[in-house]
Amino acid sequence: MAMVFLVAAVVIALMMATVWAISVAIRDASIVDIAWGPGFVAVAWTTFILSYSDFSDGGDTRRAVLLCAMATVWGLRLGVHLGIRNIGKGEDYRYQAMRRRHGDRFWIISLATVYGLQGAVMWIVSLPLQIGISETETGATALWIVGAAVFVIGFGFESIGDWQLARFKADPANASAVMDRGLWRYTRHPNYFGDACAWWGIGLVAASTPIGTVGLVGPALITFLLMRVSGVPMLERAMSKRRKGYDEYVRRTSSFLPLPPKR
């Protein structure tokens, strides 16, 4: 298990260093967001190859394959979505603000504050993948079903929410309007809610292993970050300034959990 943890850390470090070098060359630190999802795919399959290089040992690979499939579907969809949304649009306003604050030193400061920090978070969030894929004991298969169901719900919320928002933004008439249709009528952040659910689903599947519950620190961390740090709070501060009527939308719509809108 220690080897799996170490190799995952090395894979993440190499990936982040490569993306950082590209970001310095093109002066766009926001490409780290595009690399976020595929990074988990790399961790999942590296762990699988490391753990099952010799298939003759008769180990049960069903949970490992399920977790790899979940990570691949989630990670590649997110990477493609963010790539289509961001490439050619310039650097995200969050990184532009950091670039202005640090000036000419941003290129080296970003290695730690952007890429190093996100790499550390990625390693912690991916713990259920590292543990659940590398453990060869079958464990409680009922958790596989529950986890897969939670994942499907989360993946649906995230992907449908992103698709609905992309269609809304594509209409020039909505340039300054608030998205309050579809899933966005019931939660202000269906994509964040779906992201958290997807990771809790992965965590539950991994929790079927003897030490899998340790990996639940991953979905707990990503849920905390989405709800309290870099997700909801940061986005809503920006939206309240840029979108007329957003404060009213906040008053009637649940922040995270999907609920009927208030009258």
Q: Are residues 43 and 119 in the same domain?
A: yes
What pLDDT is recorded for position 13?
98
Same-domain status, 120 and 21: yes
**Residue 241 pLDDT:** 80
85 and 48 in a common domain = yes
Residues 146 and 131 reside in one and the same domain: no
Residue 54 shares a structural domain with residue 104: yes
Query: Which pLDDT score, from 0 to 100, does residue 175 have?
Result: 84
Give pLDDT, residue 230. Answer: 85
Residues 1 and 131 in one domain: yes
Which residues does the chain have with pLDDT short of 50?
none
Strands (E), 73-156: none
Residues 44 and 97 in one domain: yes
Rg (CA), the chain: 19
Question: Taking phi first (over 0 means left), then psi (-120 to 50 degrees means alpha), and beta for anything else, what does residue 171 get?
Answer: beta
Same-domain check for residues 83 and 48: yes
- Same domain, residue pair 77 and 186: no
DSSP SS3 for 9: helix
Domain that holds residue 16: 1-136
| Domains: count for the chain | 2
Q: Cβ distance 155 to 195 under 8 Å?
A: no
Cα(43)–Cα(25) distance, integer angstroms: 26
Same domain, 170 and 104: no
- Domain boundary pick from 136, 155, 174: 136
| Residue indicated by tokens 């550390």 | 120
Domain boundary among 136, 168, 191: 136
Cα 122–Cα 156–Cα 229 angle in degrees, nearest 5: 40
CA 173 to chain centre: 30
Closest CA relative to residue 243, chosen from 171, 164, 178, 172: 178
Write down the residue that tokens 């988990």 correspond to: 40
Identity at 143, one-letter amino acid code: L
Query: Of 86, 112, 136, which closes a domain?
Result: 136
169 shares its domain with 67: no
Which pLDDT belongs to residue 219?
A: 98
Q: What is the rounded CA–CA span in Å between residue 51 and residue 71?
A: 16
Looking at the structure, tell me whether residues 125 and 202 fall in a common domain. Answer: no
In tens, the pLDDT along 66-106 reads 999 999 999 999 999 999 999 999 999 889 999 999 999 99
Q: For residue 83, with 0-12 CB atoms within 10 Å meaning exposed, 13-18 middle and 19 or more buried, which class applies?
A: middle
CA-to-CA distance for 49 and 7, rounded, in angstroms? 11
